[in-house]
């Protein structure tokens, strides 16, 4: 069987913001597949990171932009991120109360030719996603409580990834599994084995001496 393609999405949250241009060029040079942009509003999560201004500033770099919205009202702000060249826009299941709102936001993102993802927090059951899996491109499984980089990987994510992998494969859904939080050269093996397609990594990659080698390691060190 052909080996499955694993993508790495490097999280800008762990970069040195004094030198953003240099840091993004380093991410691109290191052959990261995607650039992960964590938008936090200090309300949905207990931290404020950056908003659409930073996404606008990075919009012209030649790399796939993976925007992770950790905000209370994603419907209100989605278009800003779409306009700043999001390739994938992911919002949190927990940030919208009604099924109708979730379906409408998926449609709105797709109508603008952007890929759509839904993320779930560590305590949220994978099964809540069943009504949407057919219509979304990515599920982002949080393996830490969203809000901060540098936290330890929550092992509970492994079972959630396996469960989701099974549902996606059984139904032939065209949906990728992304995992975010505490990914390093040890946890990467476990999540890939469980069925993840895309690995977000911030602290591990920015702390490593050779980002390019570390990205390669995350993908191939199985
Ligand atoms: C956490 C963010 C993550 C974070 C991951 O809320 O969604 O994307 O940057 O960082 P590390 O790899 O340091 O856990
Ligand atoms: Zn993230």
Rounded to an integer, the average pLDDT of 161-179 is: 98
Whether residue 38 lies in the annotated active site: yes
* 1 has a pLDDT exceeding 60: no
Q: What would the pLDDT profile of 47-104 be if each residue is shown by its tens digit?
A: 999 999 999 999 999 999 999 999 999 999 999 999 999 999 999 999 999 999 999 9
CA 129 to centroid of ligand 2, rounded, Å: 18
Percent of the chain with pLDDT over 70: 99
Domains in the chain with CATH codes: 7-219 (3.20.20.70)
Closest CA to 92 of 115, 74, 67, 113: 74
Whether residue 33 lies in the annotated active site: no
* 208 has a pLDDT exceeding 90: yes
How far, in Å, CA of 110 to CA of 113, rounded? 5
Percent of the chain with pLDDT over 90: 97
How far, in Å, CA of 205 to CA of 33, rounded? 13
pLDDT of 156 reads 98
Q: What is the pTM of this model?
A: 0.97
Does the C-beta of 182 come closer than 6 Å to ligand 1? yes
Q: What is the mean pLDDT of the chain?
A: 97
Using the 8-state DSSP alphabet, how is residue 128 labeled? G
Other C-beta atoms lying within 10 Å of the C-beta of residue 82: 17
Cβ-Cβ contacts under 8 Å for 12 (sequence gap 6 or more) = 20, 23, 24, 27, 35, 36, 37, 38, 54, 58, 202
């Amino acid at each position: 069987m052909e080996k499955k393609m694993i993508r790495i999405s490097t999280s800008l949250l762990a970069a040195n913001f004094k030198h953003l241009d240099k840091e993004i060029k380093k991410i691109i040079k290191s052959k990261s597949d995607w650039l992960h942009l964590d938008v936090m509003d200090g309300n949905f999560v207990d931290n404020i990171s950056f908003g659409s201004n930073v996404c606008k500033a990075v919009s012209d770099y030649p790399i796939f932009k993976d925007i992770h919205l950790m905000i209370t009202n994603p419907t209100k702000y989605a278009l800003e991120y779409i306009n700043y060249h999001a390739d994938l826009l992911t919002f949190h299941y927990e940030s919208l109360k009604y099924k109708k709102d979730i379906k409408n936001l998926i449609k709105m993102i797709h109508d603008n030719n952007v890929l759509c993802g839904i993320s779930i927090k560590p305590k949220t059951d994978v099964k809540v996603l069943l009504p949407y899996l057919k219509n979304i491109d990515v599920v982002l499984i949080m393996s830490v409580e969203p809000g901060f980089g540098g936290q330890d990987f929550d092992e509970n994510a492994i079972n959630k990834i396996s469960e989701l992998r099974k549902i996606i494969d059984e139904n032939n859904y065209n949906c990728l599994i992304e995992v975010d939080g505490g990914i390093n050269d040890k946890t990467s093996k476990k999540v890939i084995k469980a069925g993840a397609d895309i690995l977000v990594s911030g602290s591990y990659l920015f702390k490593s001496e050779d980002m390019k080698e570390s990205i390669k390691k995350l993908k191939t060190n199985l």
